[in-house]
Amino acid sequence: MKKLLNEELKRKTLEEFKQAGKYPVMIVLDNVRSLNNIGSIFRTCDAFLIEGICLCGITATPPHREISKTALGATESVHWQYFEETVDAVKALRNQEYIIFAVEQTVHGCPLHAFAISMDKKYALIFGHEIKGVEQEVVDICDGAIEIPQHGTKHSLNIAVSAGIVLWEFFRHYQKQTLN
């Protein structure tokens, strides 16, 4: 088995990426403090052709050296916008007919593996602060919550890991539907 070189991967150019069709998913970062997590989420959104990211509250915005370290250029390809208040981002997305889900542990949350992704709906997925999670006032205005089942001793996963898991599940579903 031979490892592929970068030029053999046939990746899109920046212009091709911007012109490419995106999957109908927006990411909302609710007061995420880690610049490395922000950059990693940009990179994951690029990898899975996600529509964009709403950076909210204390979440830092590009250009920033620490975000760039993990984004590796994805801040140039992935559309993003900033909102001072996460609630305002949710309202704006709802006005664009997105269905809003917090990725959070809640009383009536749906396990990710049981979540029914519909091809005719647009989704906004909210990821929260590394310690506090998604703010309760934001959870209160969501259409629901998605939870990644965990069976160890820890209460949560790193936000960039969580985003990767959830976005992979959405991407996998869209790919499967596109191939059928």
Confidence of residue 28 (pLDDT cuts 50, 70, 90): very high
Q: Tell me: the pLDDT tens digits for 128-165?
A: 999 999 999 999 999 999 999 999 999 899 999 999 99
Tens of pLDDT, residues 31-75: 999 999 999 999 999 999 999 999 999 999 999 999 999 999 999
Which amino acid, one-letter code, is at 167?
L
- Does residue 75 fall inside a structural domain? yes
What pLDDT, on a 0 to 100 scale, did the predictor assign at position 129?
Answer: 97
Alpha-carbon span 26 to 76, nearest angstrom:
16
pLDDT band (50, 70, 90) for residue 127: very high
In a domain, 129, yes or no: yes
In a domain, 40, yes or no: yes
Strongest mean pLDDT among 9-13, 14-18, 40-44, 175-179: 40-44
Percent of the chain with pLDDT over 90: 94
- If pLDDT is split at 50, 70 and 90, which confidence band does 176 have? confident
- Determine contact, residues 23/171, Cβ cutoff 8 Å: yes
Six token digits for residue 149: 């089942």
How far is C-alpha 171 from the geometric centre of its chain's CA atoms?
11
Give the residue among 63, 62, 57, 69 at the shortest CA–CA distance from 132.
Answer: 57
Enclosing domain of residue 162: 20-147+156-179
Flag whether pLDDT at 90 surpasses 90.
yes
Residue 95: both structure tokens together: 């006005």
| Domain-embedded: residue 12 | no
User: Per the domain annotation, does 99 fall within a domain?
Assistant: yes
- Under a CB-based contact definition with an 8 Å cutoff, are residues 37 and 160 in contact? yes
Position 3 in a domain: no
Count of CB atoms situated within 10 Å of the CB of 23: 20
Q: What is the CATH number of the domain that holds 133?
A: 3.40.1280.10
Looking at the structure of the chain, the number of domains it has is: 1
Asked if the structure places residue 14 within a domain, the reply is no
**Contact criterion met (CB below 8 Å) for 117 and 125:** no
CA-based max dimension of the chain: 51
10 within a domain of the structure (yes/no): no
